[in-house]
Structure 1
Amino acid sequence: MKRGKGMKFVGDSRVSAEHISRIPKDYSEYPGRTEAFWPNFLLKEWLAGSVFLVGFLCLTLAHPSPLEGVADPTTPGYIPLPDWYFLFLYELLKYTFAGGDYVIMGVIVLPGLAFGALFLAPFLDNGPGRRPHQRPVAVGMMLLALSAVIWLTYESASHVNWAERAEANKPIPPGATVDIDESDPGYDVYKQSCMACHGEDLSGSAAAPPLIGSGHTAEELADIAVNGIGSMPADQFKGTDEELEQLVNFILSLDEEE
């Protein structure tokens, strides 16, 4: 037997004598299970992102965002709404256990628990499987969160008349002028009930749309004055039926000058 045969020498006893290759195996050893990041996987990701981006841009061009009027903190009765992606949190505050005296639950506690659970989901279910049935905890928590967000968003949006809200808060058309007969008895009623929001010349303001050429009939104007519309609350008009008729006739008698 030769000297040293079968013996292995290392410079440090903490270093393993067995050599482990750090070169990954060839992709051909995993048929159908993996692929090269460049260019195969990256090209697929780029194509998917491009299709989504083009579709999103086409949607924004076909259906622009329904913007309202200029923000005015003095607008009476205006109910602000968050953007659509926060409507589920807005709806949550309508429930007894998350609003009123328990608003801290709806603002901090419940959202914190929900997002914290999603953050911990990968650590609570860290099995090696990638199929949904192999990850019951993580998949179940994600489906529960997704269902809650969709339902709360739907419930919140279904109670808002978006067309009426946009109409009531549309920007004021420039250049509209009228000849106002201050001796008209309806003008005195207008000053008491409507001038604060609709302006001295009925051209509107940031708080309310113009009354010049509104296109409403006498019955519609009377109903709006009593029951409100959009951001305009009900019972703004406090006069009698006779004064209401005078107000409606005054508004309809105005002539718009180009």
Structure 2
Amino acid sequence: MKRGKGLTFVGDSRVQKYDKPKLNRDYSEFPGRTEEFYPDFLLKEWVTGAVFLIGFLCLTVAHPAPLERVADPTDTGYIPLPDWYFLFLYQILKYTYASGPFNIIGAIVMPGIAVGALLLAPWLDNSKERKWTRRPVTAAMMLISFGIIFYTTWESVAYHDWETQNQQGQIVFSNLDTEDPVFQDIIRSNCTSCHGGELTGGSGPNLIEPDLNAETVQAFVENGTGEMPAFKDQLTDEEIQQVSEFVANLELTSEEDATNSTNDSDVSEE
């Protein structure tokens, strides 16, 4: 049993004396170093968030997202383009060692290594130094990653065919009737994979803009041309004639004409 100092009598018992724990000091004792969470700290966060939100909204109004034609899964000629923050991955997939038979390397292995390095960063460099020049492992990983992302993003933007990219998603108004049996039964399954879902072009040429006559279209369908195969063994003479007449009758129209045509067809159905 302890005796003497540190003991105090409470009634007829001996209880060890202890100091009352100190409470946290008031923040006012440290001017300029601490602040109240509410409303001081939260007010700063809300103001900062509001500034960024307003700036983002102004940017979306000044540069709205481009509106393209309705997505068509049958249009295999359409080449999608990711947003700017994924362009570096899009560019990497163009390189020989990351595309074709090595596509799994560019799509899975290389991004996996980058994400794994990011997850292992706390264990690869556990130094307590705050100056980046004294943390060579982390600094090197950061600089190499930034350099790769910057270079591949720039290369993707600089060498991409933006004119073709803008044309392939362009909204084109025409007298194309997608409900026509010829389009549904023959053209959709044989032509749209190359010429686009609206026949405005993909890997194959635009079939609406040129002034094509039925005889020319029929010759192309029967005999093929360039990369286009011949369809005389796949389609009957009657089907080829129907396709030729359908394509020859296609023409560009204005938005107003297209709207009026749609309204007229709705009225006739009623």
TM-score of the superposed pair, with normalisation by structure 2:
0.55
1:49 and 1:20 map into 2 onto residues whose CA distance is: 43
| Structure 1 runs not aligned, ≥5 long | 10-16, 178-194, 198-203, 222-233, 239-250
**Which residue of the partner structure matches residue 190 of structure 1?**
none
1:8 and 1:120 map into 2 onto residues whose CA distance is: 53
**Which residue of the partner structure matches residue 153 of structure 1?**
153
**Which residue of the partner structure matches residue 206 of structure 1?**
198
Structure 1 residues 24 and 93, CA gap change in structure 2 (3 angstroms): farther
2:20 and 2:98 map into 1 onto residues whose CA distance is: 57
- What RMSD over aligned residues (CA atoms) do the two structures have, in Å? 4.5
Q: Which moved more, 1:133-142 or 1:17-26?
A: 17-26
Structure 1 residues 135 and 20, CA gap change in structure 2 (3 angstroms): farther
Structure 1 residues 105 and 164, CA gap change in structure 2 (3 angstroms): closer
| Structure 2 runs not aligned, ≥5 long | 9-16, 178-189, 213-224, 230-247, 258-270
**Which residue of the partner structure matches residue 41 of structure 1?**
41
**Which residue of the partner structure matches residue 4 of structure 1?**
3
Q: Which moved more, 1:110-119 or 1:73-82?
A: 73-82
**Which residue of the partner structure matches residue 138 of structure 2?**
138
1:122 and 1:33 map into 2 onto residues whose CA distance is: 29
Paired residue type of 1:125: D
Query: Is 1:125–2:125 an aligned residue pair?
Result: yes
Q: Which moved more, 1:31-40 or 1:101-110?
A: 31-40
TM-score of the superposed pair, with normalisation by structure 1:
0.57
**Which residue of the partner structure matches residue 116 of structure 2?**
116
Structure 1 residues 208 and 146, CA gap change in structure 2 (3 angstroms): same
Alignment of 1:59-70 (within 5 A): 59-70=59-70
Structure 1 residues 33 and 54, CA gap change in structure 2 (3 angstroms): same
Q: Using the TM superposition, give the Cα deviation of residue 33 of structure 1 relative to its aligned residue in structure 2, in angstroms.
A: 5.5
Matched pairs, number = 202
Q: Which moved more, 1:102-111 or 1:79-88?
A: 79-88
Spell out, residue by residue over 1:111-159, the C-alpha distance to the aligned partner (whole angstroms, 9 max, x if none): 1111111122234334444443454433442333233222222212222
Identity, % of aligned pairs? 46
**Which residue of the partner structure matches residue 80 of structure 2?**
80
